[in-house]
Amino acid sequence: MRHLLGYAIRRFGWMLLTLWIVYTVSFVLMRSVPGNPFSSERTVPPAIERQLRARYNLDAPPIRQYFDYAIGIVTRGDLGWCLRLEDYSVNQVLAEGFPVSASLAIFGLVFAIALGIPAGVISAVRRGSLADLSMMTAAVLGIAVPNFVLASIVILLFVFMLPLFPAAGWGTLAQIVLPAFCLGAPVAAYIARLTRAGMLEVLSREHVRTAYAKGLSNRAVILKHVLPGAMLPVVSYLGPATAGVLTGSLVLEKIFAIPGMGSHFINAALQRDYTLAMGMVLTYTVLLFLMNSIVDISYAVIDPRVKLQ
């Protein structure tokens, strides 16, 4: 437990440092690309633009802006007003959209784990069987087919041909099924392959022979002596998988008309919405950091030889 506390404190320190770096890099990058929030289709009269700049603190020297904005974030948790969404603060946008995107991502991941692990286990245990072949073929397809193509296919199949699910929208469980499936499918496929490879690897270890020689049932050997070791590569993969699911959801939200962060992300970048873009970048950084910490801790829980760094 003391390990864990020390680890949490160290990780937190690293996270703050990372956030600071991400903040700085984003700040510099956003301001160094050509254009600004007010240089779009409509030209704003100079007087009004001056007023706007003053309102958003954009007339201050950049170094000033850099610190003012940072201080607002640190002391008040205030990410400022959106530059391109009238009367919306970044915090409001995040509060509305982020839970939606996060639940979609969680559903996608849970689905991927729930499907990928059993498929990998069965494939490994029945290696070379029809079940193994068909599941591994499905896994190759799952990895190869882009999620927007998969989305078109499942919409065609389960909305139009076999109307089981609604085509779009958000709020009911039925509406989550298809996008979560499309989001989770490539991850499930990858997890299935990692699980299968991990199982086969552990199955060839000598301690598994010991387990059989103790008179344990096949089931007990597989579940207690093989599966945990086979999960190590899967656990490692969950960090990158989370990142994948989060970006994947940006596309799928568009297809399934889900009011998450997806459209904001794209708009914020295209329209130079400095504050909204910064808010999202920082939020996703925290999220990935948390996920990777959970991955590290799970890894150390499964494998006692690993010490948390």
Q: Which is nearer to another protein, 267 or 298 (CB)?
A: 298
DSSP at 81? B
Q: Which is nearer to another protein, 72 or 233 (CB)?
A: 233
**Residues near 115 by beta carbon (within 8 Å), at least 6 away in sequence:** 184, 188, 191, 192
243 binds another protein (CB under 8 A): no
Number of residues in contact with another protein under rule CB under 8 A: 23
3-state SS assignment for residue 89? strand
**Residues near 143 by beta carbon (within 8 Å), at least 6 away in sequence:** 186, 189, 190, 193
Q: Which of 49, 59, 96, 303 binds another protein (CB under 8 A)?
A: 303
Q: Which is nearer to another protein, 228 or 240 (CB)?
A: 228
Neighbouring CB atoms inside 10 A of 242's CB total: 23
Query: Nearest Cα to 210, choosing from 195, 220, 200?
Result: 220
Half-sphere exposure at residue 307, Cβ-oriented, CA atoms within 13 angstroms: 4
Compute the least distance from the CB of residue 242 to another protein, in Å.
Answer: 24
Query: Which residues between 47 and 86 bind another protein (CB under 8 A)?
Result: none
Near another protein by CB under 8 A, which window of 39-47, 56-64, 164-172, 301-309?
A: 301-309
Compute the least distance from the CB of residue 304 to another protein, in Å.
Answer: 4
Compute the least distance from the CB of residue 155 to another protein, in Å.
Answer: 43
Compute the least distance from the CB of residue 209 to another protein, in Å.
Answer: 5
Q: Which is nearer to another protein, 152 or 218 (CB)?
A: 218
Beta bridge partners of 81: 89
Compute the least distance from the CB of residue 187 to another protein, in Å.
Answer: 24
Beta bridge partners of 57: none
Q: Which is nearer to another protein, 176 or 232 (CB)?
A: 232
Query: Which residues between 162 and 221 bind another protein (CB under 8 A)?
Result: 204-207, 209-218, 220
| Cα angle 13-100-173, degrees, rounded to a multiple of 5 | 135
* Interatomic CA distance for residues 305 and 282, integer angstroms: 33
* Interatomic CA distance for residues 116 and 119, integer angstroms: 5
Compute the least distance from the CB of residue 95 to another protein, in Å.
Answer: 41
* Residue ranges binding another protein (CB under 8 A): 204-207, 209-218, 220, 224-225, 228-229, 302-305
